[in-house]
Amino acid sequence: MTHPLITRLTDDLGWPALATMADVAAFTEAPGTHVLFVPGNAARNLETPDVAVILPELQLAFQGQFDCAVVADTVEADVRDEAKVFKTPSLIFYREGRMIGGIPKVRDWQDYVTRITQILALPIAAE
């Protein structure tokens, strides 16, 4: 069962729930900067609901510089493996289909702001 704070992201805020790797690719390859919220198991990881509350606030604070989606448990392991961000909950940032940064675990507000500012300033790495 999905935690109510994660369900709020998809049901109330309208964020996509990415259930297949094709969904992940379509979302991350669209123009702009994108954040995948990889929640992990909310029943076992008490940080997951915290990040589910913090991420919408971060999106507001950064004035829509990125959009967000929730990674479903069906592809969570694949997304973590591909991005090499293994701890959950995590925020994984993409631009033009390429991963540009990740923030695992819950952080304090200033750490999020500092890290996201740095990630958003990064150029896309060449293949």
Q: What is the pLDDT of residues 9-64, one digit of tens each?
A: 999 999 999 999 999 999 999 999 999 999 998 888 899 999 999 999 999 999 98
Is 58 domain-assigned? yes
Is 72 domain-assigned? no
Helix (H) or strand (E) holding 112: helix 109-121
- To the nearest 10°, report the CA torsion of 75, 4, 115, 34: 50
Which CATH number belongs to the domain containing residue 95 in this structure? Answer: 3.40.30.10
Is 49 domain-assigned? yes
Is 25 domain-assigned? yes
Sequence-distant (6+) residues with CB within 8 A of 31 are 96
Cα-Cα end-to-end distance for the chain: 39
Is 76 domain-assigned? no
Q: pTM of the full predicted structure?
A: 0.94
- Number of compact structural domains in the chain: 1
- Which range of residues forms the domain containing residue 108? 4-13+21-66+87-121
Residue that is written with structure tokens 């952080």 in the block:
107
Is 80 domain-assigned? no
Is 81 domain-assigned? no
Q: What is the pLDDT of residues 35-44, one digit of tens each?
A: 999 999 888 8
